[in-house]
Amino acid sequence: MDNGSDDGTAEWLEADWPRVQVEISNEPLSFARAVNRGITRALYSHVCLLNNDMILEPGFFEALVRAFDRVPDLFCATAQIFFPEGVRREETGKAVYAQSDPEAFPIRCDEPLAGEDLTWVLYGSGGCSLYDAAKLRALGSIDETYAPAYVEDLDIGYRAWQRGWATVYVAGAKLEHRHRATSARYFTAEQLEEILEINYLRFVARAVATPEVFRKLWRQALDRLRLRSSSALRGAWRIALEGGAPEGVECDEEALLALTGGGVAVLAGGAPEGKVLITSDEQESPAHYAEMVLVRREAGALAYRAALAQTVRKWGRERVVTSSASADPGESRSDRDSK
């Protein structure tokens, strides 16, 4: 998708790669409008959204495809992101819902643990993720409300989770991101920051279905905008009135946010035919298991139950075991004994 470029990309592709279909827009479109034009023309079972400021390592696509063979009803497999040497790693691919302090943006990227792979994440980066094309189209593709860019990938990932379609982080799909190499040509850092804040408000108003969860996220967003004296606060009331949250969502959104809140990690095991362990013991080794799911105590009972449900869905109940240190923090001992 050549989105209003002026560097001869379309002509180069036509000359050197004539089999590549090129969708051309002479004028720059928003990210969502641009990729949707490409998605419309894509004919295969999976669609990879890949930005022009990404440098791939060998095996990138193969690693993303393998995730769909391993995780049932997978919507999106997202890559492990690195930054150039000497540049702070602002993204990793492990996107979680977590706020470190009242002024911090409520979505962050955590550093993956050693051996971590296929951990459930809130969404996949729109710049380096592989999607199930049928599921993507069932959701109406990328929401073009989010202009000119940012948060549209959070929106589509969240709406997929509402249908029970997961997104996972894939350690073996590695790339280097030359962050904002394109957007910085058109917007200042301050403008990009305001765009991010406004589009996050749009996400909360449009995508969050549970009233209690909406009130929590909306209040949190307004509080941090006040603390930051952000100009995005001025238009918040209008965004709230426009709203548009989906109806009929049966997903437990609180459990979703707990599962993807940074307290759950999936670690590759050393025994492919072995059991799958769910544990809160950070000293436990995954070597003797097919996979190990680490649920930190501070993540809470809701995260534990959500991780257990996802693990059973993936492996089947007969292969899932818990260690003595992995009991649901919300259960009493008598509850566990009765099971």
Please give the pLDDT value at position 90.
85
* Residue span of the structural domain in which 28 resides: 1-43
Mean pLDDT, to the nearest integer, of 251-269? 97
Residue 50 has pLDDT above 90, yes or no: yes
pLDDT in tens, 12-45: 999 999 999 999 999 889 999 999 999 999 999 9
Residue 325 has pLDDT above 80, yes or no: no
Considering the domain architecture, whether residues 293 and 247 belong to the same structural domain is answered as no
Considering the domain architecture, whether residues 22 and 57 belong to the same structural domain is answered as no
Q: Pairing relation of β-strands 54-56 and 107-109?
A: unpaired
Considering the domain architecture, whether residues 281 and 227 belong to the same structural domain is answered as no
Mean pLDDT, to the nearest integer, of 222-229? 95
Considering the domain architecture, whether residues 78 and 141 belong to the same structural domain is answered as yes
Residue 335 has pLDDT above 50, yes or no: no
Please give the pLDDT value at position 334.
36
Considering the domain architecture, whether residues 219 and 275 belong to the same structural domain is answered as no
Residue finishing a domain among 256, 278, 294: 256
Considering the domain architecture, whether residues 88 and 181 belong to the same structural domain is answered as yes
pLDDT in tens, 166-188: 999 999 999 999 876 666 677 88
Considering the domain architecture, whether residues 158 and 176 belong to the same structural domain is answered as yes
Q: Pairing relation of β-strands 2-3 and 24-25?
A: parallel
Considering the domain architecture, whether residues 105 and 170 belong to the same structural domain is answered as yes
Considering the domain architecture, whether residues 199 and 274 belong to the same structural domain is answered as no
Considering the domain architecture, whether residues 135 and 7 belong to the same structural domain is answered as no
Please give the pLDDT value at position 245.
75
Considering the domain architecture, whether residues 141 and 82 belong to the same structural domain is answered as yes
User: Number of structural domains, the chain?
Assistant: 3
Return all residues near 286 (Cβ < 8 A) that are at least 6 apart: 115, 267, 268, 269, 270, 277, 292
CATH of the domain at 140: 3.90.550.10
Considering the domain architecture, whether residues 34 and 57 belong to the same structural domain is answered as no
- pTM of structure: 0.92
**Average pLDDT of the residues of the chain:** 92
Residue finishing a domain among 212, 227, 256: 256
Residue finishing a domain among 235, 256, 277: 256
Mean pLDDT, to the nearest integer, of 51-78? 97
pLDDT in tens, 109-168: 999 999 999 999 999 999 999 999 999 999 999 999 999 999 999 999 999 999 999 999
Is 17:54 a contact under the CB 8 Å cutoff?
no
pLDDT in tens, 90-107: 899 999 999 989 999 999
Cα angle 182-187-190, degrees, rounded to a multiple of 5: 125
pLDDT in tens, 285-301: 999 999 999 999 999 99
Residue 338 has pLDDT above 60, yes or no: no
Residue 213 has pLDDT above 70, yes or no: yes
Please give the pLDDT value at position 295.
97
